[in-house]
Amino acid sequence: MDRDKQTTSSTKQKILDAALDLIASFGYKGASVRKIAKAVGIRESAIYNHFKNKEEIFASIMQNLFVSPLDEFFTKKPPQIYAKRGKIYLLEFAMNIKILSFDSRHEKLFRIILVELMQNEKIRQIFLQKFFDEYIKHLSNAFFVMMQEGLIRSGDPLLMAQEFFAPLFYFRLHTLLLRMDDKSTTSLSTIFEKHVEFFWEGVAISS
């Protein structure tokens, strides 16, 4: 029987939390079982009561990487319906990314993706899928709608989506890198809004 179901699950969670931190800092290889155990406050052998091996810890964390907070945005506000709002819609999307940039849990997940990007093909697939496929497709739909509504000048919606998204990605990365070394991010505090302004000026049809 469970000696203490509470303790059990909390220890398992502690391991995951510690692993998340350590992998975000040192990568998969750098996050050793001993470091994780030490962070939790147990011996390394105790880890194996909760996970089959180190790989399983990583796999468990990986699941979180598949869940994208921006999926929620596109589900709640599908472009087909809400893109008519034009600039407002783009601003909302940009604000979502801005918020994520300063959310500490999501920052860790993003760091894990980046730290493993070049060495782990699976993570690379997730990265490509999210930042170069999914979001772009959704935004592409949005721009298509805006063209139909006569809000923006006509053109290739796919290109437009990339042009709109790329700076957001660039600013998000910039934010992360500055934060890693505890540098000031004040220069980026309004950049997301400014981007939407600039972009809209370039594509909007001033009627």
Partner DNA sequence: TTTATATATTAACATATGTTCAGTTAATGT
Partner DNA sequence: ACATTAACTGAACATATGTTAATATATAAA
Which residues contact DNA (rule: CB under 7 A)?
Answer: 1-5, 7-8, 11, 29, 31-35, 41-50, 53-55
Contacted entry of DNA, a copy of itself, none for residue 117, CB cut-off 5 to 8 Å set by kind = a copy of itself
User: To 5 degrees, how large is the angle CA 199–CA 160–CA 90?
Assistant: 50
Q: Is 55 in the site for a copy of itself (CB under 8 A)?
A: no
- Which residue in this structure is represented by tokens 């011996």? 43
Contacted entry of DNA, a copy of itself, none for residue 69, CB cut-off 5 to 8 Å set by kind = none
| Residue 35 C-beta: closest distance to DNA, Å | 6
Q: Is 193 in the site for a copy of itself (CB under 8 A)?
A: no
Q: Is 77 in the site for a copy of itself (CB under 8 A)?
A: no
Supply 27's token pair. 């990568």
Measured between alpha carbons, how far is 97 from 61 in angstroms, rounded to an integer? 22
User: Which residue from 78, 73, 76, 75 is spatially nearest to 94, judged by alpha carbons?
Assistant: 73
Measured between alpha carbons, how far is 114 from 184 in angstroms, rounded to an integer? 21
Is 113:169 a contact under the CB 8 Å cutoff? no
Supply 48's token pair. 């194996």
Residue numbers of the site for a copy of itself (CB under 8 A)?
Answer: 25-27, 29-30, 111, 114-115, 117-119, 121, 124, 127-128, 132, 153, 155-156, 159-160, 162-163, 165-167, 169-171, 174, 177-178, 180-181, 191, 194-195, 198-199, 201-203
